[in-house]
Structure 1
Amino acid sequence: MKGEIKLVTGNSYKFKEFQELSKGRVKFVRVDSPKLEIQADNLEEIVRYSAVTFYSLFSGPLLVEDSGLFIKALNGFPGPYTSYVKRTLGCNGILKLMERIENREASFKSVIAYIDGDKLALFKGETEGTIALGVSGDKGFGFDPIFIPTGYTITFGEMELTEKNRISHRGKAFQEFLKFYESYL
């Protein structure tokens, strides 16, 4: 295991996911995220900006992650605005927007940024699926209770953390980061 990495997030559940994903291979220290997130049309731009900004505040190696729910019939909405839409519309608001829409294809995308004094690197993950007809499950966070990953009949909100992490967008992005991190240092 290498040294500590600051994980900048205001989301305690996301921190728990990262700890479970690392399985002790990375030591994370949670740093509460001040709200500095820019509004941009892509996740890469958001995490790149956040990583550079947070590095100037906290120094030392750190990770920043952003993710979004991209619904095909809604032209990718809410996408990079997922957090705001979750706070304002919630799961039921998205379901209301999806009423009478047959094409329920969606994907969750995640981008992780790693930064230290020498390097800024981005890692991406994506999970395809569909929007459920109703809210189901009380696990996870965000839009987990309305997202059914391809090949499953249950939502992320119904999955145990280890199962979700195995197939999730964040889990896939983290595995890419881990490959880099273990060979980089």
Structure 2
Amino acid sequence: MEKTVNWTVDEVEAALAKGEIILIDVREPQEFHAERIPGALLYPLSDFDPHKLPHSGTKKIVLHCKSGGRSGQALPMCQEAGVEVAGHIEGGILKWIAAGKETRSDLEEKKGMSVPQAVMALGSAMVLISMGLSMAFGPVWLLLGAAVSFMLLQAAFTGFCPAARFFLALGFRPA
């Protein structure tokens, strides 16, 4: 198995143009649909299975995410499964965008509340309800606010938010 490396955005762009690589995006669906690198295939880290990655005899697999963290987590998963991966984009799609490279989006019009806005509104409402219930019925209701805070912190650090998936399933726009 070849050694994995950090690929620059220019190397990835050139390899995509020549048809030498398969670019795998390990971000979540809402991130992918909001903005993606043309030609990238979606395989979210939240249900990532290296054995489901496409195999092409001559093409190398290169992973990417938002900034390199999640694709960095997927690399050892591929290595442990015996799936050859050539590396990942150093700096992820953020570096791709900063370099002025082309991106695509499935968003046509920005109507209604976005998923991040809906998650923030739900979290804020639950904390306010928690405070009201704790004043009326006792401090045990503050645990609801603490649970919401924990969920939002977990989402911030891991990039995975169950509430975001819920709102996406309801038809809220990705971003």
Q: Which has the higher helix share?
A: 2
Q: TM-score, normalised by structure 2?
A: 0.28
**TM superposition score normalised by structure 1:** 0.27
Which has more strand, going by share of residues? 1
Instruction: Choose 1 or 2 for highest CA Rg.
Output: 2
